[in-house]
Amino acid sequence: MNVSMYKYITVNKRISDKGEVMNKLEKAMNYIQNNKQKINNKYRMSFHVIPTIGWMNDPNGFSYYKGEYHLFYQYHPYSSEWGPPHWGHVKSKDLVKWDHLPIAIAPDMPYDSDGCFSGSAIEHDEKLYLMYTGHLDPTKKPEDIRQVQNIAVSSDGINFEKIKENPVIGTNMLPKDAKPQDFRDPKLWKKGDMFYVVIGSRNIDNSGQILLYKSKDLINWEFVNTIARSSNKIGEMWECPDMFEIGEKNILIVSSQFMKSEGDRFNNLHSSIYLIGKLNYEKGEFEHEGYYEIDHGFDFYAPQTLIDCKGRRIMIAWMNMWGQRWPTHENNHGWNGAMTLPRVVELKGNKLIFIPIEEIKNYRTNGYYVEETITNDFLLLPFRSFSLEIETIIDVSNATRAGFRLCKGKKEETLLYFDRNENKVVLDRSDSGEGPGGVRKTTPNIKDNKLKLRIFIDRSSVEVFINDGEQTMTALIYPSDESNHYEIFADGTAKFSIIKWDIRV
């Protein structure tokens, strides 16, 4: 541990020793129990992970342990605004129906007193290990912030104990070109007999980079190398990294801050991207070509993956975006934040595809099927719901525009359609209700003049899977209670084949 880090830990320890900091874990749990009934349920989702009360952001510790899926997340229970994060915790047997568990860790130690930032989990010796970033902000000056990596362990997957060796990776283990203020979000995995972790970092030139460390026991770590850099060309700070294998390829995922827009790509404040290549474990070098946006909508950030007992690589992400104001902020709803529907990740050629988990089909009910041909007109569909799935194939051979008006009311609608003149799928939430508007577009791979869409609506969210997951578009919307109608429309002639199910969880 370097001298400056010791200074911050010592200062915080004195505060704790004086009894001025109570048991933060107990305090948070008491607050949740006493206030969870006070939230406004208007926009709450039914088949997505949302907080009981308070603020939720990045998924953490997404893991499969003792026959169940565990998901942790950045959590501030005391308001719908971000605050010093705890780790919230849910678990599930099928990735659809989730049980809320006690908070796993709180910022209650000298090395994490200003926040337990993001991290990951891994099973070892039948125990579940969490590795997370401890955030220290002792003077409230940006230059004095320090971030270190810590371990907490559980034998039951519910109760966690922080180990005495923390921090296991301190700022003294950074390469010379890395800033100690931005060193966060460790993602663990094991290969052979060795544990590895990638950690997001900021170079002294303010660009993002990913650091690789290795260990035999999860406690004693050795720096390997800087495996990838943004060089201020692929955004700025790289955070929330994930590294995994599919076949013979290594995939690196990063959440890149302040990426510059490129046409229809990278139009949010921050972007989640993936790079495909090959990792040389001995040299710590990652050779890759190109980079690709994961989701082409509005609200998708900090994705994390696991591999489950079926061998599936599954991704989940924070369904939100920094820099926005939401109705659940403004109108005292008492909560904010959600996770995406989990998605299976597969490699198709040289691109990733993202497919909704198969388990969601177990919650389908009230099926409805229709085939319609629309010519310069619209058709109101005979169902009303805020919790549904739609599968459709649209023949756009003779249409200039064709698609859906989702969550439609007297003055509200969310538009999803194909524009032949632009050759784009368009998601337009300009009139979706409360909350920010905007338009996002992406270029689909149209085959035989047919577009295949799979659409999930869950009260305040829309998730679109294009052509079996070749592209996805995710958005938050906040329509009024009466805007639960659905229409199809066409400029020119389009043929629609539609299957709809309600989703009941």
Q: Per-residue pLDDT for the chain (505 aa), expressed as one digit of tens each?
A: 343 443 444 434 434 443 434 599 999 999 999 999 999 999 999 999 999 999 999 999 999 999 999 999 999 999 999 999 999 999 999 999 999 999 999 999 999 999 999 999 999 999 999 999 999 999 999 999 999 999 999 999 999 999 999 999 999 999 999 999 999 999 999 999 999 999 999 999 999 999 999 999 999 999 999 999 999 999 999 999 999 999 999 999 999 999 999 999 999 999 999 999 999 999 999 999 899 999 999 999 999 999 999 999 999 999 999 999 899 987 789 999 999 999 999 999 999 999 999 999 999 999 999 999 999 999 999 999 999 999 999 999 999 999 999 999 999 999 999 999 999 999 999 999 999 999 999 999 999 999 999 999 999 999 999 999 999 999 999 999 999 999 999 999 999 999 999 999 9
Amino acid at 361: K
For residues 310 and 375, membership in a common domain is answered with: no
For residues 387 and 283, membership in a common domain is answered with: no
d(CA 130, CA 252): 20
How many structural domains compose the chain?
A: 2
Give the chain's length: 505
For residues 224 and 333, membership in a common domain is answered with: yes
For residues 177 and 58, membership in a common domain is answered with: yes
pLDDT at 22: 53
Report yes or no: 398 and 491 within 8 Å, Cβ to Cβ. no
> Quick one: tokens of 223?
């720096």
- CATH code assigned at 258: 2.115.10.20
Host H or E run for residue 338 = none
d(CA 353, CA 342): 13
CA-CA distances (angstroms) from residue 194 to 120, 147, 226?
A: 16, 24, 18
d(CA 496, CA 14): 68
d(CA 366, CA 431): 28
* Boundary-marking domain end, from 329, 356, 383: 356
Give 29's contacts (C-beta < 8 A, 6+ positions apart). 102, 103
Report yes or no: 80 and 335 within 8 Å, Cβ to Cβ. yes
> Quick one: tokens of 31?
């607050």
For residues 148 and 254, membership in a common domain is answered with: yes
- Full domain range(s) for residue 307: 3-356
For residues 120 and 261, membership in a common domain is answered with: yes
* Boundary-marking domain end, from 356, 383, 402: 356
Of 237, 240, 254, 239, nearest to 288 by C-alpha is 254
Helix (H, G, I), strand (E, B) or coil at 350: coil
For residues 272 and 216, membership in a common domain is answered with: yes
For residues 391 and 311, membership in a common domain is answered with: no
Amino acid at 407: C
For residues 53 and 117, membership in a common domain is answered with: yes
With the CA atoms of 6, 7, 9 and 14 taken in that order, what torsion angle do they form, in degrees rounded to the nearest 10? 130
* Boundary-marking domain end, from 356, 382, 414: 356
Distance of CA 213 to the CA centre of its chain: 24
d(CA 154, CA 134): 18
Give 179's contacts (C-beta < 8 A, 6+ positions apart). 201, 202, 203, 204
Of 384, 376, 428, 380, nearest to 401 by C-alpha is 376
Instruction: Indicate the pairing of strand 86-92 with strand 68-76.
Output: antiparallel
pLDDT at 331: 79
- pTM here is 0.95
Report yes or no: 321 and 298 within 8 Å, Cβ to Cβ. yes
> What does DSSP assign to residue 158?
S
Give 153's contacts (C-beta < 8 A, 6+ positions apart). 127, 128, 129, 130, 160, 161, 163
Give 15's contacts (C-beta < 8 A, 6+ positions apart). 21, 113
Active site residue 58: yes
- CATH code assigned at 489: 2.60.120.560
Phi and psi, residue 465, nearest 5°? -115, 120
For residues 430 and 337, membership in a common domain is answered with: no
Helix (H, G, I), strand (E, B) or coil at 203: strand
Report yes or no: 168 and 221 within 8 Å, Cβ to Cβ. yes
Instruction: Indicate the pairing of strand 364-380 with strand 485-503.
Output: antiparallel
For residues 260 and 385, membership in a common domain is answered with: no
d(CA 232, CA 239): 14
Measured distance between the N- and C-terminal CA atoms of the chain, rounded to whole angstroms = 49
For residues 84 and 126, membership in a common domain is answered with: yes
Of 323, 259, 244, nearest to 292 by C-alpha is 259
Write down the catalytic residue from 58, 108, 182, 295. 58
